[in-house]
Amino acid sequence: MSLIKNINKIFDNRVRLGIMSALMVNESIDFNTLKELLDVTDGNLASHIKALEKSEYITIKKQFIGKKTNTKYNATKLGKLAFKKHIEALEKLIHQQKKN
Amino acid sequence: MKEKDYLKDLNEIKRIMHQSTRFVSLSGITGVLVGIYALIGAFLARQSIINHFNNQSNDIDSLILTLLVIALSVALISVITAYILTKRKAKSNNQSLWNATVKRLLFHFMVPLLAGGILSLELLQMGFYGLVAPITLIFYGIALVNASNFTFSNIKYLGLAEIVLGLIAINYIGYGLYFWAIGFGIFHIIYGTFMYFNERKS
């Protein structure tokens, strides 16, 4: 099955899939917004963010607003491309399964 | 992974893309209530205009002030109602009321609205009373169309209707109050009712 090859292992997780989905349609998003959107704990979200950063799908920008840190995330070109390929693969798989 | 899982993934992607860009905790009831306030306001305004002419008063400034107070009261009560009902719905949707989507929505809504509001006050000061109703309708419509990218997209139809009504109203200077009652009253009630039944379906 060549189609399965295009399914990206990194996106084979609800939280990572969610982070990328949100970053595809927003310039940047901060940590708390992601947390609320995906309904996950701090630790859980942080570990998945790290995984995405390691594969260079997202970048992290730290800013100071007063004394508070505000961390924002962006999707990289590489990440956006990988995500698009992943969606295409998902769609093809669904399409194929419907045929069978 | 089975087909069901792939489909679930796609649906989750869609949900998050939608929820991270649009604020959807507005309710149809808000529209209906705002429309009713506007109709009451229009009725009170009509009464004060009739009183003004019956008393053969020349004090146009005090009439304008009365009308301004009525309009601002209607606006204030509408904003308070919208705030309370939206907060309630956001709570039941598990959304916070002060997130990125709300800020974006408010910004794109307020820019045309404030520009139109300031322009209207300037027109009032210059004595162009008849232009105020069309101008407020047009700018309110633009504000709605602008905001429609950040909330329910069908709110742009309400916006377009307000713009068209405002453009028609320019040809009927002197009947501004009736156009206001239609635009801010009837249109809101119709759109609010439509939204209310849409909410119940989903």
In chain A, the domains with their CATH numbers are: 2-93 (1.10.10.10)
Share of chain A above pLDDT 70, in %: 94
Residue B3 lies in a domain: no
Higher-confidence residue: A8 or B106? B106
Q: Is B134 a residue whose pLDDT tops 60?
A: yes
Of the CA atoms within 13 Å of residue B63, those in its CB half-sphere come to 18
Residue B79 lies in a domain: yes
Strand partners, A70: A63
Total structural domains within chain B? 1
A-chain residues within 8 Å CB-CB of B19? Answer: 37
Residue B172 lies in a domain: yes
Q: Average the pLDDT over each of B83-92, B108-117, B134-143 and give the range with the smallest value.
A: B83-92
Residue B149 lies in a domain: yes
Q: Do B100 and A29 touch (CB under 8 A)?
A: yes
Q: Do B19 and A29 touch (CB under 8 A)?
A: no
Higher-confidence residue: B56 or B33? B33
Nearest to B20 among A25, A90, A98 (CB): A25
Residue B137 lies in a domain: yes
C-beta of residue A73 within 8 angstroms of C-beta of residue A29: yes
C-beta of residue B171 within 8 angstroms of C-beta of residue B130: no
> What is the reported pLDDT for B137?
97
Dihedral sign computed on CA atoms, order B76, B81, B87, B89: negative
Q: Do A39 and B99 touch (CB under 8 A)?
A: no
How do residues A82-99 score in pLDDT, each as one tens digit? 999 999 988 888 888 777
Among all chains, which residue has been given the structure tokens 């156009």? Answer: B179
C-beta of residue B195 within 8 angstroms of C-beta of residue B152: yes
Q: What pTM, to 2 d.p., does this model score?
A: 0.83
**The token pair that represents A60 in the structure block:** 């992290």
Residue B185's domain spans which residues? 28-201
Q: In what order do the strands lie in the sheet with A58-65?
A: A29-30, A68-75, A58-65
C-beta of residue B162 within 8 angstroms of C-beta of residue B143: no
Cα nearest neighbour of A32 on chain B: B99
Q: What is the mean pLDDT of residues B92-111?
A: 87
